């Protein structure tokens, strides 16, 4: 059964990004540094280090896993995940209870991030320009349900805040996003 | 595996497998029983397929799953809705490979036969090989014999005769009315897309769980706790909500007693009139004095046999793949004339349902553990006696139990047995 | 899934499932029927296994698929060809794990028993445990009881008795002769390797499709269009080519009428004498006046029941894995004494067949959509009536239809039914 | 596949399938026979589950596989060992999801029912729905009716009545005694963890192979050769070791004659007293004059029907998943009071067994090739006659054969047949 | 059925490469630059950008996917793919018709290119030296047939033409090249 | 059957590493160089170049594939593999006989090594500091048993010996290490 998810009504008013607004790659970014950052993000997700993973995000974060229609507006159509910062926080709080059964016991995970490309710059809400990156991934998930191999394409947006690099946007398109998929309980 | 080890003490007749207070585990694991369910339930009774709002325009079509069948829900030139079986009448090829679109006809790629979107054979190339045009009367794509809809919810039945949709819906019809009654325009759309959630579980575990008021506090405690949700309280010992068996296998968790107790409009939606002024305004405009009642009582929580579940602001379409696997298709309710609410319903639904939903992913984990559990041999039975000792009959003659009782399941099994023994 | 839902109106006897103008879908999806096919067709009639040119030298061997069986095609010291079943007579281990090689014997790794490449048990270690040497008469690797070849094409039959290979080939023999007749040396080799294409489809969809002249324009239009190929025209309403049922389930698309019409040598191969002067020279040398006819009429397009398909310059070996899966093995014809042509045939074959072939990958997509389609329940039947109204009998008493007619399929089903009812 | 092609010449009764000198391949491939094995062997006779040393403390538990069943081996407050079936008595959910732990009770996540670690239902939330506390007598997690242990080896039987464990072990009991007799403290622990090796083979290929003295020289020659191991010689024509059928399907390779011949303490372990002085000292201390005999004769090599194999310093627990798949769980023997030896046994076991073991990975390759082999149709039989002509009866009336004979297999099949025909 | 593929008789006379001719890594190549080029080639293939993908190739291109016998001469033995430039062009034209059913509808694809190593220099027909590269890959393919995971080893040869990097040679050896494989309709 | 593996009793006295001893990344290491080294190690393993692969190891090598309990002491509990240098050598000798049936015929293999991170420095027995590296992998294995995809996390320790880089430690944790796994006959 499903209950009215009233308390989950975190406003997802954030607009979907305008795909036409991609500018040149902003200065001061090196593929190597970016790769290492993405590897770290991947490791934190693989190892269920929820606090460290959550800390990567900017306040205007968007964490998006579209469903079958990639052209759909996530504010008007359902997605597998479409979290703003506050919902990311709720998601972390839930799993940390240890009773988020879809992840209790947690999946064993390892993912490969590859084909990392700096795609361009994307104007952000702070008047700055975020670095937009494309990469492909495979996640090997093992849980009692069995082993599942997930694959897809991730678009990241990174931003420098002081001496920190922050994750402003992560859109994960599963290769089989248009198919029936099993429970996706881990951080993809 | 249990199919390898048939229970010693049952002969396998449904009367023995399904009893007043318990159900035998083999009904969830035996491939033979699943095959019989296909014939006697899925391919006979009314099954929810989709919603008219998915194909608003003439010649719109969308592909759907109908149990093990790949079907196309189409709207023809005149606006009539059809459900076609995706198989060519020539050599049986799958005809349509698009998920959706707009077309007055379908063309089979193998030899170019074409079909009207109502299923009739339109033409076949090199017709001399058949003695000319129009020589293949009676050939066409399979058309599901009965298709009907209520409030835009499209149902199909493979049985040429039988109860009408309205007869099948019976009192569940009123629950759909309640939902529609929350729209200032009196309409519902299901056009926000469907999430497709693969579930390694027998479909009945889902159907039974949908109105199981006993599990939320335990399965969903994690999200209720972190969000301070009041939902848990609706499904507790002290709740005034009732579980109702609506007949024909339908059941509901009627939460109105709780909401009436508070008497707060929009509480059912976890919000207040102030936060959705436009909507409240339109409702008062349209429904006057009755608007408040509607906004207090909220949306239904009803499981319509065998596969449509309306969970307040979400709708689920359950379809079986095999004895141990099914698919949950879920979407957000969209109310005509309520843009303010609709966006919130989309956002809440994304948070709650689908493969990563903060509620449904946990239910689904239970479904899958349940399937693994019933592969075990002892105890052989599932217990469904909860509340049997405190049931009563309401003013309409329906059996009702407390918020956490298994009244809905017992209604499900009564109807299931009647169909399987028919 | 259909196996879960047996058709209401057939009893399942082959006479009811296979009719003059239609075939019931369950013959492609029912595992029981597949099991019966193994026993009554695959393990009884003559099945194509491979070609002698794959094992040219004494003691050469190559592993092959024979329906569900893992077999080894060997050439013994004296040059005789054998087909051995890859199972040890001791404890049933798979004996040979190499794909091919040259050896006079095989050794089982488990306990070291050895077998001659004709299957006889050669020795077993520590023979005192059996009372000494030569005490295990009657034990050996399984030898397929009948193995015979024609023009190097090796066929095997699990039936100790029955029609000879020549009797089985009947008139299809002449088609092989036609192919061989295109070699200045009168020989064919199949030594260019085999592509192995996994196909999620019942094997019969392939066998029927091979001489289905109705599909090319539709399925292969994409490649015909971009290459300006004249092939499409051979399979059109206006083509003078005929579809012929050759008996015993064999059938062909006889394209000679079209090629004779043009009377251009090598047109069948999409080239001209100028571009292959060496070959044309050798042909004239060897065959004199008859050479031109041969080069005009070209190679056969024949399906030899149940699993050998000669498609002009390619040869296919079809082997079933299960009711819904089979394998297409394909290679390029290589003609003795025609190096010029052989290279082109390799190149063309790579472009056309196998998992990435610009022709076969599209046929295979159809096979797989066909399998998915027949899992659907309505309509239940496949139509095979095309051309029934315009068939005639040729000078040899064979039924012939137009280029796009289903004459070949009807011949296939007639023979299939006779075997399954035997 | 063979199940699709039932052997022509057998009716399928076990008397026909299992003969004195051969066994029919279908017993390894027929799903029906596997189902019958579950009922008549796995869920009736005594099956090895684990060792008490895995749950040393009160309330310790560990999850185990029991054929197709997910069970929990628990030690209750009082220290008694139970084997619970991991299924909730309410709606059949899998209750426990941890691999091991310490807890006096288990709680089902679905509705919060709790069970004592001996299986009794402890409580259920909102008990008013059942008329209050203690109203669900008779509900509980499934308890395997008979659980008993010998030297800490825990066995379970699903049959409420039948031979006692001691009766079932019969003479195999003495082999366990031999193992324990190598411990200065007279105890064995199996607490070094279990490797879990998935094997695509019928379980009986493993059971038969465990005391097959004919294969080592061939299958393990690679490791014997590079390490200069003397093991091969123990399983050769000239070995004085014997293969003994111990009754009840148990069998052993008795290597003592070989070790007595050399009369070197610790040779069985591939070492010398000098290299394990502490151990030898403790043994002499405890067992005095008898210590040397023990250290010369070494550990047993015994297969205890149907699934416990003690291979000198390793223990295997074999559990079937399906007709063509099983799991090998393996660990190192740990002897009470022998730390010096225990470390070596862990190191040697890692080198020898499990998915990468330099011995077992090769046996497992054979098991899987064996399974593939018996899917082939000819020859239909497996030969088990080896040594039939030179068997004798020992002083205790047991049949013994030479080191490389199939005496153990014949004993296995005799008992197997008696159970399957019961 | 198969038709005589006459129009496909593009001469594939190009010889198979001589494996012994590998020289030192030519100057002026950087692994990073090469990786980015290979990632781009992978992205164009994944996204079915046929024109851009075709434009990568040199005129003497060889695109080769061997079958079971890796020692076989592709001019005398069958391969899964053995395209010269003109056949690559034919292949692209076919798929662009939208009626190449093995790719209509197209597969959803994402691939990971990893373990990129510069292996050496290979003399080419233009008297120059091509850079030879080895890399491993996994392709996650999703279509109605189901999901398929392909894996293998790719040998690339790159050449500088003006300021362009061109692909002269791509040999893809599937890990299971000796097994039965399903339809390979996409650009591997 | 299993025989007493006496000759295999290579002492595995080497202690399990102390997880707390990780120091800063030692000087003189570059991720790019490390990646190329790991790619080479992977290639040698994929191509069954046993001699070259064995030559990579230091004398105090540890090659470890834990079983289900990652906290277990490998000297007191069973592991899937826990080889010291001499057992690595034995393993290589066995497979080179060509009668190590679990690898005869050998598996066809290709693996992807990705997410390479330099994790820190680890004091070694020679008084030096080894470089500790983390990376994720997927191995695509094909043999008659069928195709198997293996995934996991590898921790490597590298050491410079003269102008050579040597492999001192390789710990491979399979994602599904706690599950039943099939024969692992190849070099993972
Ligand atoms: S199968 Fe559809 S047109 Fe022939
Ligand atoms: S099984 Fe072949 S020699 Fe024993
Ligand atoms: S199923 Fe276990 S408590 Fe309900
Ligand atoms: Fe729920
Ligand atoms: Fe075709
Ligand atoms: Fe062995």
Answer whether residue E182 is part of any domain.
Answer: no
* Ligand that comes closest to the CA of residue C122: 2
Q: What single-letter DSSP state applies at residue C140? A: B
Tokens of A87: 């919902």
End position of a domain, from candidates D104, D121, D150 = D150
What's the gap between Cα B184 and its chain centre?
24
Which residue do the tokens 């499209």 mark?
Answer: B154
Give all strands (DSSP E) within B98-237, no chain letters. Answer: 100-102, 105-107, 114-116, 121-123, 142-143, 146-150, 153-157, 188-189, 195-199
Answer whether residue D9 is part of any domain.
Answer: no
Check whether residue B84 and residue B205 sit in a common domain. no
If DSSP codes are grouped into helix, strand and coil, which group holds residue E126?
Answer: coil
pLDDT of residue E7: 36
Tens digits of per-residue pLDDT, F50-109?
Answer: 999 999 999 999 999 999 999 999 999 999 999 999 999 999 999 999 999 999 999 999
Q: Is D135 exposed, middle or buried (0-12, 13-18, 19+ CB in 10 A)?
A: middle
pLDDT of residue A10: 38
Answer whether residue E183 is part of any domain.
Answer: no
Answer whether residue B74 is part of any domain.
Answer: yes
Check whether residue D268 and residue D413 sit in a common domain. yes
Check whether residue C58 and residue C174 sit in a common domain. no
CA of A141 to the centre of ligand 1 (A): 41
Tokens of B295: 């906004």
Q: What is the CATH number of the domain that holds D234?
A: 3.90.380.10
Establish whether residue B90 lines the binding site of ligand 1, counting it when its CB lies within 6 angstroms of any ligand atom: yes
Count helices and strands (H / E) in chain E: 3, 7
* Ligand that comes closest to the CA of residue B94: 1
Answer whether residue D80 is part of any domain.
Answer: yes
CA of C405 to the centre of ligand 1 (A): 13
Instruction: Grade residue E3 by pLDDT with cuts at 50, 70 and 90.
Output: very low
Check CB contact under 8 Å for F105 and C109.
no
Which domain range does residue F97 map to?
Answer: 20-174
pLDDT of residue A21: 75
**Cβ-nearest to A142 among F117, F138, F179:** F179
How many degrees, rounded to 5, is the angle at CA B418 between CA B412 and CA B420?
Answer: 95
Answer whether residue A182 is part of any domain.
Answer: no
Establish whether residue D200 lines the binding site of ligand 3, counting it when its CB lies within 6 angstroms of any ligand atom: no
Q: What is the CATH number of the domain that holds D125?
A: 2.102.10.10
Tens digits of per-residue pLDDT, C274-300?
Answer: 999 999 999 999 999 999 999 999 999
CA of C80 to the centre of ligand 1 (A): 46
Helix, strand, coil % over all residues of chain E, rounded to 5: 20, 40, 40
Query: Nearest CA to CA, how far is B385 from chain A (Å)?
Result: 19
Tens digits of per-residue pLDDT, E121-148?
Answer: 999 998 999 999 999 999 999 999 999 9
Is the pLDDT assigned to residue B5 strictly greater than 50? no
Q: Is F164 exposed, middle or buried (0-12, 13-18, 19+ CB in 10 A)?
A: exposed
Check whether residue D121 and residue D176 sit in a common domain. no
Tens digits of per-residue pLDDT, C200-240?
Answer: 999 999 999 999 999 999 999 999 999 999 999 999 999 99
Which residue do the tokens 């009676």 mark?
Answer: B138
Distance CA C338, CA C348 (A): 15
Query: Taking a C-beta distance cutoff of 8 angstroms, is the pair E1, C253 a contact?
Result: yes
Answer whether residue B12 is part of any domain.
Answer: no
Check CB contact under 8 Å for F46 and E136.
yes
Check whether residue C272 and residue C342 sit in a common domain. yes
Which residue do the tokens 């509340």 mark?
Answer: B387
Check whether residue C85 and residue C136 sit in a common domain. yes
Answer whether residue E124 is part of any domain.
Answer: yes
How many degrees, rounded to 5, is the angle at CA B405 between CA B402 and CA B411?
Answer: 110
What mean pLDDT comes out for the span B307-320? 98
Tens digits of per-residue pLDDT, E72-111?
Answer: 999 999 999 999 999 999 999 999 999 999 999 999 999 9
Give, using CA atoms, the residue closest to atom 1 of ligand 3. D91
Tens digits of per-residue pLDDT, F94-120?
Answer: 999 999 999 999 999 999 999 999 999
Answer whether residue A82 is part of any domain.
Answer: yes
pLDDT of residue E21: 75
From the list E177, E7, E153, the residue with the least C-alpha distance to E78 is: E177
Percent share of chain C, pLDDT over 70: 97
Query: Taking a C-beta distance cutoff of 8 angstroms, is the pair C170, C250 a contact?
Result: yes
Instruction: Grade residue C11 by pLDDT with cuts at 50, 70 and 90.
Output: low
Omega prior to D204 cis, within 30 of 0:
no
Distance CA F20, CA F18 (A): 5
**Cβ-nearest to F110 among E117, E136, E179:** E136
Number of domains forming the structure of chain F: 1
Distance CA A169, CA A155 (A): 8
Which domain range does residue B292 map to?
Answer: 170-420
Establish whether residue D122 lines the binding site of ligand 3, counting it when its CB lies within 6 angstroms of any ligand atom: no
Beta strands C81-85 and C69-75: pairing type? antiparallel
With b meaning 16 or more CB within 10 Å and e meaning fewer, what string describes C170-194?
bbbbebbebbbbbbbeeebbbbbbb
From the list C331, C338, C335, the residue with the least C-alpha distance to C352 is: C331
Instruction: Grade residue F18 by pLDDT with cuts at 50, 70 and 90.
Output: low
CA of C53 to the centre of ligand 4 (A): 66
Distance CA D279, CA D182 (A): 10
Kindly give the number of the ligand 1 atom that is closest to the alpha carbon of B108: 2
Tens digits of per-residue pLDDT, B356-368?
Answer: 999 999 999 999 9
Answer whether residue C15 is part of any domain.
Answer: no
Establish whether residue D262 lines the binding site of ligand 3, counting it when its CB lies within 6 angstroms of any ligand atom: no
pLDDT of residue B64: 98
Is the pLDDT assigned to residue C73 strictly greater than 60? yes
Phi, psi of B300 (to 5 degrees): -75, 160
From the list E58, E91, E1, E63, the residue with the least C-alpha distance to C227 is: E91
The C-alpha R_g of chain E, in whole angstroms, comes to 16
Is the pLDDT assigned to residue B260 strictly greater than 60? yes
Distance CA D139, CA D116 (A): 12
Task: Name the maximum alpha-carbon separation found in chain C.
Answer: 76
Check whether residue C87 and residue C191 sit in a common domain. no
Answer whether residue E4 is part of any domain.
Answer: no
- Which residues does chain D have with pLDDT short of 50? 1-10
Torsional sign, CA B96, B99, B105, B109: negative
pLDDT of residue C284: 98
Give, using CA atoms, the residue closest to atom 4 of ligand 1. B111
How many degrees, rounded to 5, is the angle at CA C406 between CA C401 and CA C407?
Answer: 50
In DSSP notation, F119-169 reads EEEEE-TTSSEEEEEEEEEEEEEEETTEEEEEEEEEEEEEEEETTEEEEEE
Distance CA A40, CA D290 (A): 62
Task: Show the DSSP H helices in chain F as ranges.
Answer: 31-46, 50-54, 85-96
Give, using CA atoms, the residue closest to atom 3 of ligand 3. D111
The mean pLDDT value of chain B amounts to: 96
In SS3 terms, C57-109 reads as CCCEEEEEEECCEEEEEEECCCCCEEEEECCCCCCCCCCCCCCEEECCEEECC
Query: Taking a C-beta distance cutoff of 8 angstroms, is the pair D326, D203 a contact?
Result: yes
Tens digits of per-residue pLDDT, B23-81?
Answer: 999 999 999 999 999 999 999 999 999 999 999 999 999 999 999 999 999 999 999 99
pLDDT of residue C35: 96
- The whole-model pTM stands at 0.95
pLDDT of residue A19: 52
Phi, psi of C256 (to 5 degrees): -55, -40
ipTM value: 0.95
Check whether residue D258 and residue D317 sit in a common domain. yes
Q: What is the CATH number of the domain that holds E68?
A: 3.10.450.50
From the list F101, F102, F136, the residue with the least C-alpha distance to F117 is: F136
Check CB contact under 8 Å for A6 and B327.
no
Answer whether residue E105 is part of any domain.
Answer: yes
CA atoms within 13 A on the CB side of B284: 9
Query: Taking a C-beta distance cutoff of 8 angstroms, is the pair D316, D196 a contact?
Result: no
Tens digits of per-residue pLDDT, B153-165?
Answer: 999 999 999 999 9
Number of domains forming the structure of chain D: 2
Tokens of E20: 């012994």
The mean pLDDT value of chain D amounts to: 96
Neighbours of chain A (3+ CB pairs under 8 A): B, D, E, F
Check whether residue B131 and residue B186 sit in a common domain. no
Query: Taking a C-beta distance cutoff of 8 angstroms, is the pair B65, A179 a contact?
Result: no
Answer whether residue F155 is part of any domain.
Answer: yes
Check whether residue D175 and residue D121 sit in a common domain. no
Task: Name the maximum alpha-carbon separation found in chain D.
Answer: 76
Answer whether residue D124 is part of any domain.
Answer: yes
Check whether residue D56 and residue D203 sit in a common domain. no
Beta bridge partner(s), residue B73: B62, B83
Phi, psi of B169 (to 5 degrees): -65, -40
List, in order, residues 6 or more apart from D124 with CB less than 8 Å away. Answer: D90, D111, D112, D113, D114, D130, D136
**Cβ-nearest to C366 among B85, B86, B110:** B110
Distance CA D112, CA B88 (A): 51
Give, using CA atoms, the residue closest to atom 1 of ligand 1. B91
From the list B165, B160, B140, the residue with the least C-alpha distance to B150 is: B165
Tokens of A106: 């947690």
Answer whether residue D206 is part of any domain.
Answer: yes
Is the pLDDT assigned to residue F2 strictly greater than 70? no
Establish whether residue D215 lines the binding site of ligand 3, counting it when its CB lies within 6 angstroms of any ligand atom: no
């Amino acid at each position: 059964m499903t209950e009215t998810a009233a308390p989950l009504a975190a406003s997802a008013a954030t607009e979907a990004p305008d795909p036409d607004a991609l500018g040149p790659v902003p200065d001061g970014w090196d593929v190597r540094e970016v790769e290492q950052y993405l590897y770290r993000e991947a490791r934190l997700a693989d190892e269920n280090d929820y606090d460290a993973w959550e800390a990567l995000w900017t306040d205007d974060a968007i964490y998006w896993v579209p469903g079958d229609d990639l052209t759909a507006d996530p504010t008007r159509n359902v997605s597998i995940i479409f979290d703003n910062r506050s919902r990311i926080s709720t998601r972390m709080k839930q799993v940390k209870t240890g009773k988020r059964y879809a992840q209790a016991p947690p999946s064993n995970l390892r993912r490969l991030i590859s084909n990392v490309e700096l795609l361009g710059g994307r104007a952000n809400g702070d008047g700055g320009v975020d670095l937009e990156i494309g990469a492909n991934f495979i996640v090997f998930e093992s849980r009692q349900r069995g082993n599942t191999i997930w694959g897809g394409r991730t678009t990241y947006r990174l931003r420098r805040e002081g001496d920190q690099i922050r994750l402003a946007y992560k859109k994960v398109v599963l290769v089989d996003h248009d198919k029936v998929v099993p429970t996706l309980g881990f951080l993809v | 595996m249990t199919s390898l080890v048939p229970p010693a003490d049952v002969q396998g007749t449904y009367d023995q497998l399904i009893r007043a207070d318990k159900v035998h585990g083999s009904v969830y694991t035996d491939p033979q029983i699943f095959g019989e369910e296909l014939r006697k339930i899925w391919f006979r009774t009314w099954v929810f397929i989709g919603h008219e709002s998915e194909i608003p325009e003439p010649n719109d079509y969308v592909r759907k799953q109908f149990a093990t069948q790949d079907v196309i829900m189409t709207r023809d030139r005149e606006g009539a809705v059809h459900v076609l079986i995706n198989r060519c009448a020539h050599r049986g090829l799958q005809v349509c490979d698009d998920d959706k679109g707009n077309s007055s006809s379908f063309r089979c790629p193998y030899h170019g036969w074409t079909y009207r979107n109502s299923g009739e054979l339109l033409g076949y190339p090199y017709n001399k090989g058949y003695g000319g045009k129009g020589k293949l009367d009676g050939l066409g794509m399979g058309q599901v014999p009965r298709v009907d809809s209520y409030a835009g919810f499209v149902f199909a039945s493979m049985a040429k005769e039988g109860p009408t949709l309205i007869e099948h819906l019976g009192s569940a019809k009123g629950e759909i009315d309640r939902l529609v009654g929350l729209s200032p325009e009196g309409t519902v759309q299901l056009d926000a897309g469907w999430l497709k959630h693969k579930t390694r579980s027998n479909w009945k575990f889902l159907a039974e769980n949908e109105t199981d008021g006993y599990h939320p506090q335990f399965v969903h405690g994690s999200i209720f706790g972190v969000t301070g949700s009041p939902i848990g309280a609706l499904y507790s010992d002290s709740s005034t909500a009732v579980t109702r068996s609506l007949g024909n296998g339908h059941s509901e968790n009627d939460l109105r007693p709780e909401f009436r107790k508070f008497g707060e409009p929009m509480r059912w939606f976890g919000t207040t009139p102030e936060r959705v002024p436009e909507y409240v305004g339109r409702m008062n405009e349209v429904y006057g004095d009755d608007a408040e009642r509607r906004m207090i009582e909220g949306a239904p929580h009803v499981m319509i046999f065998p596969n449509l579940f309306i969970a307040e602001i979400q709708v689920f379409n359950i379809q079986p793949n095999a004895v141990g696997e099914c698919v949950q298709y879920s979407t957000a309710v969209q109310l005509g004339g309520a843009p303010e609410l609709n966006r919130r319903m989309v956002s809440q639904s994304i948070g709650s349902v689908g493969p990563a939903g903060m509620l449904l992913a946990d239910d689904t984990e239970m479904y899958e553990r349940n399937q693994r559990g019933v592969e075990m041999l002892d105890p052989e039975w599932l217990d469904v006696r909860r509340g049997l000792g405190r049931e009563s009959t309401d003013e309409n003659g329906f059996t009702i139990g407390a918020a956490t009782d298994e009244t809905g399941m017992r209604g499900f099994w009564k109807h299931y047995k009647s169909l399987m023994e028919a």
